[in-house]
């Protein structure tokens, strides 16, 4: 079973592909879609959409895990992130790939056992769980792998 985790953002979208073979869950690929800060939001959204479609087509996940939107600080940032999230959902719907939406605390709880885990703790747990030598940079990619892992466990 192949699962893609997507950590939405308008500057950077973390993505991680995990694969379950028997009882083992392995990393298949990960990275970030990074947009150019000098571009207007519509161009940035198009870039995200195009890249995520390539990732979806290349890895053919059984389903996608996307983080539900949460914001505590800036409404402006939340709106832009929600627009990027909409582009991700559009790409999955267009390719008829089911989506599992989880909150940040559900992902942290499912992956570390603590819903309030910090970014650095998530990166370290991803490194340990997947047996990697170094932590994944940037943390958006690590979060996306954690999402894929939790998605596999939930299915």
Domain with 103, as residue range(s), is 2-154
Q: Is 67 a catalytic residue?
A: yes
Stretches in the chain below the pLDDT threshold 70: 71-73
Q: Domain of 116: which CATH number? A: 3.30.420.10
Q: Check 51, 67, 139, 143 and give the catalytic one.
A: 67
Cβ-proximal residues to 151 (8 Å cutoff; 6+ apart), any chain:
3, 5, 18, 63, 64, 65, 100, 102
pLDDT digits (tens, 9 = 90+) for 65-85: 999 887 666 777 888 899 999
User: CB-based contacts of 55: which residues, under 8 Å, 6+ apart?
Assistant: 4, 15, 17, 33
Catalytic residue among 19, 139, 140, 143: 140
Enter the pTM of the model. 0.94
The total of structural domains in the chain comes to: 1
Would you call 7 a catalytic residue per the annotation? yes
């Amino acid at each position: 079973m192949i699962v893609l985790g997507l950590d939405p953002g308008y500057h950077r979208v973390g993505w991680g592909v995990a694969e379950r073979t028997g009882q083992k869950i392995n990393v298949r690929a990960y990275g970030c879609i990074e947009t150019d800060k000098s571009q207007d939001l519509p161009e940035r959204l198009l870039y995200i959409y195009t890249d995520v479609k390539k990732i979806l087509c290349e890895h053919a996940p059984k389903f996608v895990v996307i983080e539900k939107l949460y914001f505590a600080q800036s409404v402006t940032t939340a709106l832009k992130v929600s627009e990027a999230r909409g582009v991700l959902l559009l790409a999955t719907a267009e390719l008829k790939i089911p989506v599992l939406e989880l909150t940040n605390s559900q992902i942290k709880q499912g992956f570390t056992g603590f819903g309030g885990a910090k970014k650095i703790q998530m990166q370290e747990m991803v490194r340990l769980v997947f047996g990697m030598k170094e932590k994944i940079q940037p943390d958006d990619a690590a979060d996306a792998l954690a999402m894929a892992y939790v998605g596999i466990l939930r299915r």
